[in-house]
Amino acid sequence: MLLDTINKCLVELNKECVLSNVVKALNEGIPASQIVLDAMSRAMEEIGRLYENGDYFIAELIEAASIFKEAMKILEPKLREEGSREKAFKRARIVLGTVKGDVHDIGKTLVAIMLQAAGHEVIDLGVDVPAEKFVEAVEKYKPDVLGMSALLTTTARYMRVVIEELEKKGLRQKVKIVVGGAATTPQFAREIGADGWAPNAIEAVKLIESLIS
Ligand code: B1M
């Protein structure tokens, strides 16, 4: 099964094998979103486990991220094509970023791509974004939704700081807040006062569309 092969090749950090099988899978009609979510994202979770167990080190995480990004160059146009088949009836404006202290950008970028593919406008603030920058962007762009991503347990807590800063400026009620990333859960989202949580990029699009409808 091609998805299993892609997963295995990524876990083994075999770039050529990942790229050639991604092309093969697309040629066989497997949706790009399935390749990203079912094969590649799962492989990244396994790589995380190998890191935790001491079998992989930072160098391997960096290599895995680099292979993931290479594969995304092939997959991104297909993801956009797939997403655009069901254009949103209402276009939302979303300010998005990975919170301060956190440089993980793959998941956040995937969320941005899927939102854009569905016809929404995304202002991507990048990674390591401090509360002031989120607040400034909400003031400047007046988005429908503010999306925050965090992969580290330590940085996820910073999302609450951003929400408090928005409250202080009287902006909290003007924007829906959606959070996600491996360090977050639906319960965590409720606790910090966010409006919603999504487990992956496809669900993030659905959630945001339901919040703005
Ligand atoms: Co890091 N890292 N990392 N890392 N890294 C994790 C997150 C970790 C879980 C690995 C592990 O130990 N098992 C662990 C965190 C533990 C914890 O806090 N609980 C960890 C650690 C410890 C670290 C460092 C501290 C290591 C060190 O330096 N000692 C360090 C921190 C750096 C920092 O940020 N300050 C670090 C560094 C790195 C690299 C830079 C080497 C690299 C990132 C490269 C990059 O992003 N450009 C890296 C990587 C690759 C990982 C793992 C292996 C993979 C992350 C990834 O890209 N996944 C990761 C393991 C894991 O996550 N289990 C790990 C694929 C991506 C598609 O999934 O980002 O989860 P994800 O996004 C998904 C969903 O979460 C969701 O949708 C996405 C797509 O479907 N989603 C949203 C994400 N954002 C959303 C926002 C939404 C909605 C949904 O709404 C707004």
State what percent of residues in the chain have pLDDT above 70. 98
For residues 103-122, give the mean pLDDT: 94
For residues 142-152, give the mean pLDDT: 98
| CA 43 to ligand 1 centroid distance, Å | 12
pLDDT at site 82: 84
**Which residue lies with its CA nearest to atom 34 of ligand 1?**
102
Exposed e or buried b per residue across 164-194, where buried means at least 16 C-beta atoms within 10 angstroms of its C-beta: ebbeeeebbeebbbbbbbbbbeeebbeebeb
| CA 75 to ligand 1 centroid distance, Å | 20
pLDDT at site 89: 63
Find, among 88, 87, 106, the residue nearest to 98 by Cα: 106
- Confidence (pTM): 0.95
Which pair of structure tokens corresponds to residue 196? 């919603």
Q: What residue ranges define each of the domains in the chain, with the CATH number in brackets? A: 2-84 (1.10.1240.10), 93-212 (3.40.50.280)
Q: Does the CB atom of residue 47 touch ligand 1 within 6 A?
A: yes
For residues 175-185, give the mean pLDDT: 98
pLDDT at 155 over 80: yes
pLDDT at site 86: 62
> Which of helix, strand or coil describes residue 125?
coil
pLDDT at site 20: 98
Q: What is the pLDDT of residues 19-40, one digit of tens each?
A: 999 999 999 999 999 999 999 9
pLDDT at 84 over 90: no
Catalogue the E-assigned strands of the chain. Answer: 93-98, 121-124, 145-149, 176-180, 196-198
Find, among 74, 66, 65, 85, the residue nearest to 35 by Cα: 74
Using CA atoms of 32, 186, 98, 101 in order, give the dihedral in degrees to the nearest 10.
-140
pLDDT at site 88: 57
For residues 176-197, give the mean pLDDT: 98
